[in-house]
Amino acid sequence: MSVVAQWFNRRGWRDLIIGLPYLWLVAFFLLPFLIVIAMSVATRTPTAPPFGYGGDNPAINLEGYRRLLSDTLYLRAFVTSLMNAGTATLLCLLLGYPMALGLTRVSKGWRNILLMLVILPFWTSFLLRVYAWMGLMGRNSWFNQLLTDGWNWLVPTAWAVNSVPMMHTNFAVVLVMVYTYLPFMILPLYANLERLDPQLDEAAMDLGSRPSRVFLDVTLPQSIPGIIAGGLLVFIPAAGELVIPTLVGNSASPMIGRVISDEFAQARDWPMASAVAVALLMLMVLPTMAYSHYQSKAEHREDDTP
Amino acid sequence: MKRSPVFLITVLCFGFAFFYIPILSMMVYSFNDSRLATVWGGFSTRWYETLLSNRQVGAALLLSVQIALISATCATILGAMAGITLARFRRFRGRTFFSGMVTAPLIMPEVITGISSLMFFIMLGQWIGWPGQRGFTTITLAHITFSMVYVTTVVHSRMLQMDRSIEEAAMDLGSRPWQVLKDVTLPVISPALLSGWLLAFTISLDDVVITSFTTGPGATTLPLLIWSKVKLGVTPDINALATLTVLAVGFCVAIAGVLMNRAERRRLADERLAYQANG
């Protein structure tokens, strides 16, 4: 120990504390990432590992990117991913916003218990939460029968069904995404709404605004940072999701995560899988950059106000 | 708040029903006697017997816990260093690049992290002959890498809230850098280290996608075992496993809640005593 301490005091802690995580991330994050980029311009070969550069093939092969734009499979997968993730984000917002607002309105004792109940599902396995819905959506389950009975009661007998087809649809994917990602929306929104000054609401009320106007003019504009943070926390993992579409999704219209995994593991087309991965990353980078731009602008604004 | 939040309370009730009905349904059906997992066929505990007599489950759980313990500990050390770096060292070469590398894994889709790690390990095996076979080591390395950035986030935000003047005071009083780190900085950020460790532990214990890409023959973690079973459909013994998981998590959370509550009350009592002593 004293040797470490002596070295530490002589050299200072800087080198070690900066260097170790730096090297680790360069080795185990940056390098694998660069391999993906390099792989996306390689040529597929029947060797092991299944790729090559140069030789009979062009040194830089843009075939993967060309196919990305010409083969509708990929385009459709991107559209499906964006639609599913977008719908899930919107539904999370519609359900999560009133829940977060409700959490700020209950008594302090209740609030802690309810917050705990929001976080609790996080600690149980993600896979098991998806699995719980597989049980509920199956054809003979009580939930499906309940929905079927409701449907049959509502519509004329000619439209009656034996069960509601839920499993292996995009509807199922969106439903399970909302279920698993809803806490990601509620928690940042709650953190944001909790900080708002209730006196502003009261002032608006005293000045004669109706509750709906107070919400639209006072609460909602102030909660936009929370909405954006929550939206990104739901949208980004949802767009690249692999587990949920594999378990409950429709394999005829796959999401992009599934396409990458299949190209890689089943088709053994590493260059193509890498090209799709690079394209997906580009798609993720744009909203994130927009967000950090927005955030740094907001920080500047805070700095300006005394 | 004068306004009656009937609508908000209704949505809250609906939301919590949405959260917990699937879990409760799964727990009830774990006692189902029928082989058809979704049709009720009377009460039975036979799926628990099936589960507990399955040696694979025990071995997979053990492997998962081993990987989670090692990777959470390494991730906490590395992540804390990165957090301290971001919070304390304003100027060094490649700082922007470093903070980018710490943020990027947070938004990287798991599939991409998975295939990039797998290709990296395969290429590394070709170049330097290591790792010869994927399994425990490669899973642990991948888990350390993607969970350390979560620890960094937690530690960084704690360091930003920390009062720098106590570190400066210790320096002024003649402490060496090592002593400041050991006696001032680390104790102050220890709650962040603990919650970062817990986060890294649960992330590792729960991961399916990255593990499925970095695993090799013979290394089946518990999530991988569940994954391979549920891909084939609903099976009743997974209901039993889920019930046991939920009960274990609920138990731990209850214990943690009681401990935190007690610590909070003691702190309040101490504060009150201190005020009284000051008159």
State the DSSP code for B131: S
Determine the residue of chain B that is closest to A126 in CA distance. B206
CA-based nearest residue to B75, from B215, B202, B257, B225: B202
Indicate the SS3 state at residue B32.
Answer: strand
Residue B37: predicted pLDDT: 67
Would you call B209 and A198 a contact, using CB atoms and an 8 Å cutoff? no
Query: How near does any CA of chain A get to the CA of B8, in Å?
Result: 5
Q: How confident is the model at residue A306 (pLDDT cuts 50, 70, 90)?
A: very low
Q: Are A174 and A89 in contact (CB under 8 A)?
A: no
> Which 149-208 residues of chain B touch chain A by CB within 8 A?
152, 176-178, 181, 202, 206, 208
Interface residue B9 vs chain A (CB under 8 A): yes
Summarize pLDDT for B163-195 with one digit per residue, the tens. Answer: 888 888 988 898 887 788 888 889 989 989 999
C-alpha to C-alpha distance for B207 and B199, rounded to whole angstroms: 12
Q: Are A190 and A153 in contact (CB under 8 A)?
A: no
Summarize pLDDT for B101-147 with one digit per residue, the tens. Answer: 998 898 889 999 999 999 999 999 988 988 888 999 999 999 999 99
Nearest to B9 among A102, A264, A280 (CB): A102
Q: Are B231 and A245 in contact (CB under 8 A)?
A: no
State the DSSP code for A43: B
In a domain, B241, yes or no: no
In a domain, B108, yes or no: yes
Residue B203: predicted pLDDT: 93
Enumerate helices (H) and strands (E) in chain A, giving the number of each: 16, 0
Contacts of B177 in chain A (CB under 8 A): 8-9, 12-13
The stretches in chain B having pLDDT less than 50 are: 1-2
Token pair in block for residue A36: 């993906």
Residue corresponding to tokens 């702190």: B267
Indicate the SS3 state at residue A124.
Answer: coil
Range A57-69 average pLDDT: 86
Q: Are A200 and A246 in contact (CB under 8 A)?
A: no
ipTM: 0.90
In a domain, B228, yes or no: no
Would you call A33 and B116 a contact, using CB atoms and an 8 Å cutoff? yes
Would you call B25 and A143 a contact, using CB atoms and an 8 Å cutoff? yes
Domain that holds residue B210: 55-221
Interface residue A146 vs chain B (CB under 8 A): no
Task: Return the CATH fold of A80-268.
Answer: MetI-like fold (1.10.3720)
C-alpha to C-alpha distance for B76 and B166, rounded to whole angstroms: 24
Token pair in block for residue A53: 């550069």
Nearest to B8 among A105, A243, A260 (CB): A105
CATH of the domain at B115: 1.10.3720.10
Token pair in block for residue A166: 């839920």
Q: Is the peptide bond before B131 cis (omega within 30 degrees of 0)?
A: yes
Can you give the residue ranges of every domain in chain A? Answer: 80-268
Domain count, chain B: 1
Long-range contacts of range B159-168, CB-CB < 8 Å, 24 or more positions apart? B159/B83, B159/B84, B159/B86, B159/B87, B159/B88, B159/B189, B159/B192, B160/B87, B162/B87, B162/B188, B162/B189
Mutation for B interface: A47, A205, A243, most B CBs within 10 A: A243
Summarize pLDDT for A284-294 with one digit per residue, the tens. Answer: 888 777 777 77
Contacts of A136 in chain B (CB under 8 A): 21-22, 25
Residue A242: predicted pLDDT: 94
Taken as a whole, chain B contains a residue count of 279
